[in-house]
Amino acid sequence: MLNVVQAFFLVALLALGVPPALARQETPIAVNSDVKYEFLARWDVDRLNKILKTDTPAFSGINVQYTPARNAVRLYRITYNSVIPEKGNKPTVTSGLLAVPDTNGTSFPTVSYQHGTVYEREQVPSFADQSAETELMIAQFAGQGYMLIGADYFGLGISTEPEGYMVKASHQQATYDLLIASRAVLKSMKLSSDKLFLAGWSQGGFVTMAMLEKLEAVGIKVDGAATASAPLDVYALMEGFLLYPRKFDAAWLNSIVILSSFAYENYYGEPGLAHSVLTDEYYQMSKDAYDRKPGNPANITTDLHKLMRPEYFDSNYFANSAYGKLIMSAQSYRWPIKSPVRNYYGEADEAITTGVGRMAMTYAQAMGSGNPNVEAVSTGQTSHRGTFATAVPQWKTWFDSK
How does DSSP assign 355-384, residue by residue?
HHHTHHHHHHHTSTT--TTEEEEE--S--H
Q: Which of 130, 141, 34 is nearest to 79 (CA)?
A: 34
Per this entry, what is the length of the chain?
402
> Phi and psi for 176 in degrees, rounded to 5?
-65, -45
Q: Is 298 exposed, middle or buried (0-12, 13-18, 19+ CB in 10 A)?
A: exposed
For residues 81 and 92, the answer to whether their CB atoms sit within 8 Å is yes
If one counts every other C-beta atom within 10 angstroms of the C-beta of residue 370, the result is 11
DSSP H helices in 87-231: 132-140, 168-188, 203-218
pLDDT digits 0-9 by tens, 336-360: 999 999 999 999 999 999 999 999 9
pLDDT at residue 298, rounded to an integer = 85
* Segment 250-267, tens digit of pLDDT: 999 999 999 999 999 999
pLDDT of residue 188: 97
The low-confidence residues of the chain, meaning pLDDT below 70, are: 1-26
* pLDDT given at position 296: 85
CB 264 within 8 A of CB 86: no
What DSSP assignment string belongs to 31-98? SSSSEEEEEEEEE-HHHHHHIIIIIHHHHHSS----PPP-S-EEEEEEEEEEEEGGGTSEEEEEEEEE
Determine the distance from the C-alpha atom of residue 338 to the mean position of all C-alpha atoms in its chain, rounded to a whole number: 21
Residue 98 corresponds to which amino acid?
L
CATH (one of 3.40.50.1820, 3.40.50.2300, 3.40.50.2000, 3.40.190.10) for 27-233+336-400: 3.40.50.1820
Tell me the CA distances in angstroms from 98 to 130, 191, 208, one per residue in order: 15, 12, 17
Q: What is the pTM of this model?
A: 0.93
- 105: Cβ contacts below 8 Å, ≥ 6 apart: 145
The helix (run of H) or strand (run of E) holding residue 254 is helix 254-267
Q: At what angle do helices 254-267 and 234-243 cross, to 10 degrees?
A: 130
Query: Could you tell me the CA-to-CA distances from 288 to 52, 262, 277 in Å, in that order?
Result: 35, 11, 16
Which pLDDT value is given to residue 25? Answer: 55
CB atoms inside a 10 Å sphere around CB 326: 23
